[in-house]
Amino acid sequence: MVQEGGALLTADRAVDAVKRLFAQLGYAEAEPPEGVDLAFRKGDRVVGVKLVKFSRSVARDRRVIRSEIYRLLREKPCDEVYIAVEGVSFGRLPPPYEFRESGIGLVEVEGASARVAIPAAPLRERPAEQALERPSPAAAAAGDAARLAEIVRELRALLEELKKSEVGGKASESLSAPVRIETAERAEGRTGGAGEELERLLAVDFIKDNPWLSILRERREGS
């Protein structure tokens, strides 16, 4: 069946041409779902074809075919969908980019033969593809747990470093007062204000409330 301005016409020659085309491409004919006139299957992919016959009005043809593009894109009756017309005349069709951006393909029928003028793109995802793009709740939870475990390991490593710093601070108590003063002055000159630098460090969210930093700060002020 071929649609022309809302009327359906029999077009055995166009139908036979489209069937031969997809047979040559390795497809087997299948029962067409609602919304398309022909359907073909290869593996788990089903391709649908909507046959449209040009009328006497160029503007009307463009409007009808654009309407079909929008309908097919909305309904997604098959994995891939083509619109087939007799003799591609781009003056009667929407611009080629509308086909490419929508994913709807275009088949040109010429006499007893047909060819793919614009390839179709997949309109529907396979279940496997959906699973890859959208992980299950259990997989998402496992990923979150792994990330939290990594954060805990990093925090533990930070605490160990702070403990080592405290031990080093106790050992430095044996240094003489002049040496401590000279070391503090050098540090002050390098940082341009060690007290301000420490305040900036303490303002960082992930170490702001760490008790070891408070201890180190008190130790420094006491020295």
| Residue-wise pLDDT tens digits, 89-108 | 778 899 999 999 999 999 99
The mean pLDDT value of the chain amounts to 75
- Shared domain for 80 and 179, answered yes or no, is no
Residue count of the chain:
223
For residue 189, is it within any domain?
yes
Rounded to whole angstroms, the Cα distance separating 36 from 13 reads: 17
Give me the CATH number covering residue 44: 3.40.1350.10
Q: How far is CA 96 from CA 2, 142, 200, in A?
A: 21, 45, 58
pLDDT at 87: 84
Tokens 């805990």 belong to: 152
- Sign for the CA dihedral angle at 124, 129, 135, 136 comes to positive
What is residue 187's predicted lDDT score, i.e. its pLDDT? 46
Cα–Cα distance for residue pair 164/198, rounded to 1 Å:
18
3-class SS at 32? coil
- The reported pLDDT for the residue numbered 131 is 42
pLDDT at 173: 54
* Residue numbers of the domain that contains 87: 2-125
Which contiguous run of DSSP H or E holds residue 50?
strand 45-51
Tell me the residue ranges of DSSP E strands in 66-158. 80-86, 105-110, 113-118
Q: Which of 79, 108, 125 is the last residue of a domain?
A: 125
- Do 119 and 175 reside in the same domain of the chain? no
Query: Does this model's pTM top 0.85?
Result: no
Query: 90 with 162, same domain?
Result: no
Residues of the chain with pLDDT under 50: 1-10, 128-133, 175-177, 179-181, 183-184, 187-188, 191-192, 194, 198, 201-202
Which of 53, 121, 123 lies closest to 93 in space, CA to CA?
Answer: 53
Last residue of a domain, one of 125, 144, 169: 125
**Contacts of 34 by beta carbon, 8 Å cutoff, 6+ apart:** 77
At residue 39, the pLDDT reads 97
- Measured from the Cβ of residue 53, the count of other Cβ atoms closer than 10 Å reads 20
